[in-house]
Chains A and B, each alone.
Chain A
Amino acid sequence: MAEFSTSVADKGEVSTIYLKGFLDAHTAPMLENTFSGLIDNGKYSIVVNFKELAYISSAGLGVFMAFIEKIRENSGDIKLSTMSDKVYNIFDLLGFPLLYEIFKTEDEAINKFKETKKLES
Chain B
Amino acid sequence: MKFKTASLSQNIKFRAFVGFAVVLFLFKQFFGLNNAITFRILNEIFVILTAAFFILYMFDFIRAKKINPLSLIMNIGILNAVIFALITFSDPILNWVFGNVKERLTKPDLIISIISFLYGFVFISSVSYIFFTFKELYFLKQKKNVSTYFNTMIIFFIVASFASVLNPYPELNYIKTTFLIISVILIFINSIRISWIAFLVKKEKISLLILSVVIFILFIVNLANSSDSHLHGQVLINFSSSLDQFMNLMMIYGIIYFGILFFTTLFHIPTAEAYDRKTQEISSLQYFSKLINQVLDFKELSETITEIAVKVCNSDASWIIWIENNETKPLAKKNIGIVDTNLISDYILSKIKKDSDSKTLLLNLDKFEDKGKLAEKFYSLAVSPVKTHNEVKGYLVAAKKNDFIFDDEDKNAMDTFSDYASIAIENSRLLEESIEKERLEKEFDVAREIQRKILPAKNPELENLSISSVFIPAFEVGGDYYDFFELSENKFGFVIADVSGKGISAAFIMAELKGIFESLSKTFETPKEILVKANEILHRTLDRKSFVSAAYGVIDLNNETLTISRAGHCPVLLIRNNIVRNIRPSGIGLGLNFTEHFVDTLDEIHLDLKEDDLIVLYTDGITEAKNINLDDFGNVEFEKILVENSDKNVDEISNKVIREVTLFSRNISQHDDITLVILKWKQKLNIVGENKWQNSAPQLQTKVK
Kindly identify, within residues 663 to 693 of chain B, every residue whose CB is under 8 Å from any CB belonging to chain A: 672
B498 within 8 A of A: yes
Q: In the complex, how many residues of chain B place their beta carbon closer than 8 angstroms to a beta carbon of chain A?
A: 28
Q: Give 1 or 0 for each of A39-62: 1 = CB within 8 Å of chain B CB.
A: 000000000000000110111011
Q: Is the CB of B545 within 8 A of A94?
A: no
In angstroms, Cα B501 to Cα A63, docked, is: 11
Q: Is the CB of B593 within 8 A of A62?
A: no
In angstroms, Cα B499 to Cα A41, docked, is: 33
Q: Is the CB of B592 within 8 A of A58?
A: no
B586 within 8 A of A: yes
B604 to chain A, nearest CB (A): 15
Residues in B with CB closer than 8 Å to A65 are: 544-545, 547, 592
In angstroms, Cα B328 to Cα A113, docked, is: 38
Residues in A with CB closer than 8 Å to B569 are: 93
Residues in A with CB closer than 8 Å to B394 are: none
In angstroms, Cα B545 to Cα A69, docked, is: 11
Q: Is the CB of B544 within 8 A of A58?
A: no
Residue of A nearest to B503 (CB): A25
Contact of B547 among A57, A58, A69 (CB under 8 A): A58
Counting chain A CB atoms within 10 Å of each CB, the highest count among B567, B589, B672 belongs to B589
Counting chain B CB atoms within 10 Å of each CB, the highest count among A57, A66, A69, A94 belongs to A94
Q: Is the CB of A66 within 8 A of B601?
A: no
Q: Is the CB of A95 within 8 A of B588?
A: yes
Q: Is the CB of A62 within 8 A of B546?
A: yes
Q: Is the CB of A95 within 8 A of B544?
A: no
Q: Is the CB of B588 within 8 A of A98?
A: yes
Q: Is the CB of A61 within 8 A of B500?
A: yes
A48 to chain B, nearest CB (A): 16
Q: Is the CB of B588 within 8 A of A99?
A: yes
In angstroms, Cα B43 to Cα A77, docked, is: 115
Given A69-B544, A93-B570, A94-B592, check contact A62 B500 (CB 8 Å).
Answer: yes
Q: Is the CB of B589 within 8 A of A94?
A: yes
B371 to chain A, nearest CB (A): 34
Given A59-B500, A59-B501, A98-B588, check contact A66 B544 (CB 8 Å).
Answer: yes
In angstroms, Cα B592 to Cα A99, docked, is: 8
Residue of B nearest to A60 (CB): B500
Q: Give 1 or 0 for each of B482-513: 1 = CB within 8 Å of chain A CB.
A: 00000000000000001111100000000000
Residues in B with CB closer than 8 Å to A62 are: 500-501, 544-547
Given A61-B500, A93-B569, check contact A98 B597 (CB 8 Å).
Answer: yes
In angstroms, Cα B545 to Cα A59, docked, is: 8
Q: Is the CB of B500 within 8 A of A98?
A: no
B587 within 8 A of A: yes
Q: Is the CB of A95 within 8 A of B501?
A: no
B438 to chain A, nearest CB (A): 18
Q: Is the CB of A93 within 8 A of B568?
A: yes
Counting chain B CB atoms within 10 Å of each CB, the highest count among A58, A61, A90, A93 belongs to A58
Q: Is the CB of B502 within 8 A of A95?
A: no
Residues in A with CB closer than 8 Å to B630 are: 2, 54-55
B187 to chain A, nearest CB (A): 79
Residue of A nearest to B623 (CB): A89
Kindly identify, within residues 76 to 104 of chain A, every residue whose CB is under 8 Å from any CB belonging to chain B: 86, 90, 93-96, 98-99
Residues in B with CB closer than 8 Å to A99 are: 588, 592-593, 597
A114 to chain B, nearest CB (A): 26
Given A93-B570, A95-B568, check contact A66 B549 (CB 8 Å).
Answer: no
In angstroms, Cα B601 to Cα A61, docked, is: 20
In angstroms, Cα B503 to Cα A59, docked, is: 12
In angstroms, Cα B589 to Cα A94, docked, is: 5
In angstroms, Cα B588 to Cα A7, docked, is: 29
Q: Is the CB of B502 within 8 A of A59?
A: yes
Contact of B501 among A2, A25, A86 (CB under 8 A): A25
Residue of A nearest to B499 (CB): A58
A65 to chain B, nearest CB (A): 5
A70 to chain B, nearest CB (A): 9
Residues in A with CB closer than 8 Å to B499 are: 58
Q: What is B's interface to A at a CB cutoff of 8 Å? A: 476, 498-502, 544-547, 549, 567-571, 586-589, 592-593, 597, 601, 620, 630, 632, 672
6 sample A-B contacts, Cβ–Cβ < 8 Å, listed by A number: A2-B630, A58-B500, A58-B547, A93-B549, A94-B568, A94-B588
Cβ-closest 7 pairs across A and B: A95-B588, A58-B500, A62-B545, A94-B568, A94-B589, A66-B545, A66-B544
